[in-house]
Amino acid sequence: MENVTLKINGQEITVPADYTVLQAAREAGIDIPTLCYLKDVSQTGSCRMCVVEIKGARNLQAACVYPVSEGLEVFTNTPKVRRSRKVTLELLLSNHERKCLTCVRSGNCELQTLSEELGITDIPYDGERQQHEVDTLSPSIIRDNNKCVLCRRCVSACKNIQTVAVIDATERGFKTTIASPFNKSLAEVPCVNCGQCIAVCPVGALREKDATDDVWEALGNPEKTVIVQTAPAVRAALGEEFGMPIGTPVTGKMAAALRRLGFDKTFDTDTGADLTIIEEGNELLDRIQNGGKLPMITSCSPGWIKFCEHNFPDFLDNLSSCKSPHQMFGAIIKSYWAEKNGLDPKNIVTVSVMPCVAKKFECGRDEMEVAGNRDVDIVISTRELARMIKQAGIKFAELPDEKFDNPFEEASGAGVIFGATGGVMEAALRTVAEKLTGKELSSIDFHQVRGTDGIKTAEIPVGDLTVKVAIAHGLGNARKLLESIRNGEAEYHFIEIMACPGGCVTGGGQPIVPARVQMGIDLKKERAKALYTEDANAAIRKSHQNPDIIKLYDEFLGEPGGHKAHELLHTHYQARSKF
């Protein structure tokens, strides 16, 4: 890429010719406020917060869409610019339900930050305000349009990135509202509950359905044994809620915090992930060797599952019948572990801490129970866990590093990388390759399947077999991949699909990172690094060598894919309407 030199506030800077003025300014260390812009998601130039003066141009220009050019002179801090931004913001705020004191995003709200930075102390235009009903029907997502600033970041995430497209701008002018067709609730349209709309929303207009009260209630009930498990990706991001740098793994402090919150046992969903690999690996081998339906597609991501049920019902038989790791683990806690400890599963409450809000939907699916016991009773997101830790007055950063509880203390490194795109594939390959050949792998790092490309493909030699694999993350990529298979353009044995771009580390339940911070980093990569480091340092790195899992099969489950495993660990799917 060619470079150009321009001047911003008199300061010369040389940048690639395809940069916008906003990018150039950030590189020069000059901050320009933004609201509708979000890297990789939305670049519509519609909110006018980012206006700058350009020498020779009559009107102020939006820096987020204005291209740099040789000799361009930009001014980001003139009286005209400041006045314009301020009026824009004041108008926005005049139609905003300003309830920061009770807003879930207070302290991490881009609108609040702007108001502070632009020195808004009064709203001169307090006129008529649109009143909207809050949509609380979805099991995962609450939409409160009274706080919406119409930046359309959620629309772009849902439509362009996820290709689910169940929300869009409706009406016009003052009545403009983001809504689903015919003002239906998100619960009544094919929303897949991925929560990517929440992750991109700059304000408190979209949030998860908070279940922390349910958890507190269970913890306060002396009759109940309350067991918590945490997904791999949670440890890669929870620290951010307590001011730690992005990508800091906090496994030990997290375990310590959960114990202090009063959970009776603190387990690691990585164990569930190891269990999933045994079952899924066995299923894959069976399908390959016995002419079963191929490609087999992973089933850990409930957003992906619902997307498939609505949009690709012809692929339901391709889905692995395995429940997702936390559902499997929940079922094991309420059977094997309950039995071992002489507890009635009716008195056990299983709580999952997940980077995901679709898991809130998943745990309520009819299929997810055995003998009248729900596998998982409550799902909370990483954000909700952080809230509980704060409510309990626990000083997270000062906690010692502790371990998970026995008997599932030590999961494998393979289980840990489940949280990043390509991780399930890599974990499965480690096990399938050794099971198929009966020989130990010389290297267990499958670099071909790592990284953040939207669709990754590889041919992996396993014994005499060449296993063709593909990995997609983000549902738009999943759609592309499945269409290529549907059209007969591509063929694979095994596919990993994660609903969220980046996989679970950037799931819809993870800490929300402001647009400004996201501009300078690749969030997916930074958080994934934490997981790959934990894997590299793990004593056991293959699921089938996890001693707790070996014991579980010996003592209780019998054979992988056997009768008991099927009853507890496998599930089925249902076609759903496209509309």
CB burial string 170-187: b at 16+ within 10 A, e below: eeeeeeeebbbeeeebbb
**Set 253, 265, 306, 359: catalytic member:** 359
Helices (H), 230-290: 251-261, 269-289
User: With CB cut-offs between 5 and 8 Å by kind, which of another protein, ligand SF4, ligand FES, none does residue 46 bind?
Assistant: ligand FES
User: With CB cut-offs between 5 and 8 Å by kind, which of ligand SF4, ligand FES, another protein, none does residue 224 bind?
Assistant: none
Confirm or reject binding of residue 50 to ligand FES (CB under 6 A): yes
**Is 133 a catalytic site residue?**
no
Among 59, 79, 131, 172, binds another protein (CB under 8 A): 172
Among 15, 25, 47, 200, binds ligand FES (CB under 6 A): 47
Q: Which of residues 58-97 bind ligand SF4 (CB under 6 A)?
A: 96
Confirm or reject binding of residue 572 to another protein (CB under 8 A): no
Instruction: Kindly indicate which of the ranges 75-83, 161-169, 459-467, 518-526 contains the residues binding another protein, using the contact rule CB under 8 A.
Output: 161-169
Residue 450 to residue 31: CA distance in whole angstroms: 34
Amino acid identity of 16? P
**Is 283 a catalytic site residue?**
yes
Confirm or reject binding of residue 167 to another protein (CB under 8 A): yes
User: With CB cut-offs between 5 and 8 Å by kind, which of ligand SF4, another protein, ligand FES, none does residue 100 bind?
Assistant: ligand SF4
Confirm or reject binding of residue 514 to ligand FES (CB under 6 A): no
**Is 280 a catalytic site residue?**
yes
Confirm or reject binding of residue 579 to another protein (CB under 8 A): yes
**Is 434 a catalytic site residue?**
no
Which residues are registered as beta bridge partners of 267?
229
**Set 279, 280, 309, 496: catalytic member:** 280
Strand order in the sheet with 465-473: 296-297, 494-498, 465-473, 455-462
Which tokens go with 333? Answer: 């806690």
Contacts with 494 (C-beta within 8 Å, 6 or more apart), sequence order: 284, 294, 295, 296, 297, 425, 428, 467, 468, 469, 470
**Set 148, 158, 308, 504: catalytic member:** 504
Cα four-point dihedral sign 119, 122, 127, 129? positive
Q: Cβ of residue 161: shortest distance to ligand SF4, in angstroms?
A: 8
Q: How distant, in Å, are the alpha carbons of 42, 77, 133, 187, 575 from that of 142? A: 22, 38, 11, 10, 25
User: With CB cut-offs between 5 and 8 Å by kind, which of another protein, ligand FES, ligand SF4, none does residue 181 bind?
Assistant: another protein
**Is 320 a catalytic site residue?**
yes
Residue 460 to residue 462: CA distance in whole angstroms: 6
Residue 535 to residue 532: CA distance in whole angstroms: 5
Helix (H) or strand (E) holding 437: helix 423-437
Instruction: Kindly indicate which of the ranges 42-50, 112-120, 252-260, 407-415 contains the residues binding ligand FES, using the contact rule CB under 6 A.
Output: 42-50
User: With CB cut-offs between 5 and 8 Å by kind, which of ligand FES, ligand SF4, another protein, none does residue 148 bind?
Assistant: ligand SF4
Confirm or reject binding of residue 158 to ligand SF4 (CB under 6 A): yes
Closer residue to ligand FES, CB minimum distance, 42 or 382 = 42
Among 195, 239, 419, 502, binds ligand SF4 (CB under 6 A): 195
Closer residue to ligand SF4, CB minimum distance, 201 or 411 = 201
**Set 138, 299, 301, 320: catalytic member:** 320
Residue 268 burial (10 A CB sphere; 0-12, 13-18, 19+): buried
List the one residue out of 25, 22, 29, 36 whose CA is nearest residue 64: 22
**Is 300 a catalytic site residue?**
yes
Amino acid identity of 554? D
Q: What are the φ/ψ torsions at residue 575 (nearest 5 degrees)?
A: -70, 140
Confirm or reject binding of residue 171 to another protein (CB under 8 A): yes
**Is 171 a catalytic site residue?**
no
User: With CB cut-offs between 5 and 8 Å by kind, which of ligand SF4, another protein, ligand FES, none does residue 449 bind?
Assistant: none
Residue 452 to residue 458: CA distance in whole angstroms: 14
**Is 534 a catalytic site residue?**
no
Confirm or reject binding of residue 36 to ligand FES (CB under 6 A): yes
Q: Cβ of residue 52: shortest distance to ligand SF4, in angstroms?
A: 22
**Set 90, 97, 367, 402: catalytic member:** 367
For residues 435 and 281, the answer to whether their CB atoms sit within 8 Å is yes
What's the CA dihedral at 406, 410, 415, 417 to 10 degrees?
130
DSSP state of 319: B
Amino acid identity of 128? E
State how far Cα 247 lies from the chain centre: 15
Q: Cβ of residue 310: shortest distance to another protein, in angstroms?
A: 12
Pairing assessment for the beta strands 61-62 and 51-54 based on DSSP bridges: antiparallel
DSSP state of 418: G
Residue 361 to residue 303: CA distance in whole angstroms: 9
Confirm or reject binding of residue 576 to another protein (CB under 8 A): no
Among 20, 23, 34, 477, binds ligand FES (CB under 6 A): 34
Among 8, 25, 39, 48, binds ligand FES (CB under 6 A): 48
Q: Is 400 helix (H, G, I), strand (E, B) or coil?
A: coil
Confirm or reject binding of residue 182 to another protein (CB under 8 A): yes
**Set 36, 300, 356, 363: catalytic member:** 300
Q: Site for ligand SF4 (CB under 6 A): how many residues? A: 41
Confirm or reject binding of residue 170 to another protein (CB under 8 A): yes
Closer residue to ligand FES, CB minimum distance, 80 or 486 = 80
Q: What are the φ/ψ torsions at residue 20 (nearest 5 degrees)?
A: -95, 170
Among 23, 140, 180, 571, binds another protein (CB under 8 A): 180
Interface residues with ligand FES (CB under 6 A)? Answer: 34-37, 45-50, 62, 64
Interface residues with another protein (CB under 8 A)? Answer: 159, 165-172, 179-184, 189, 578-579
Interface residues with ligand SF4 (CB under 6 A)? Answer: 96, 98-100, 103, 105-106, 109, 111-112, 141, 147-154, 157-158, 162, 164, 166-167, 178, 186, 191-197, 200-206
Q: Which residues are catalytic?
A: 280, 283, 300, 320, 359, 362, 367, 504
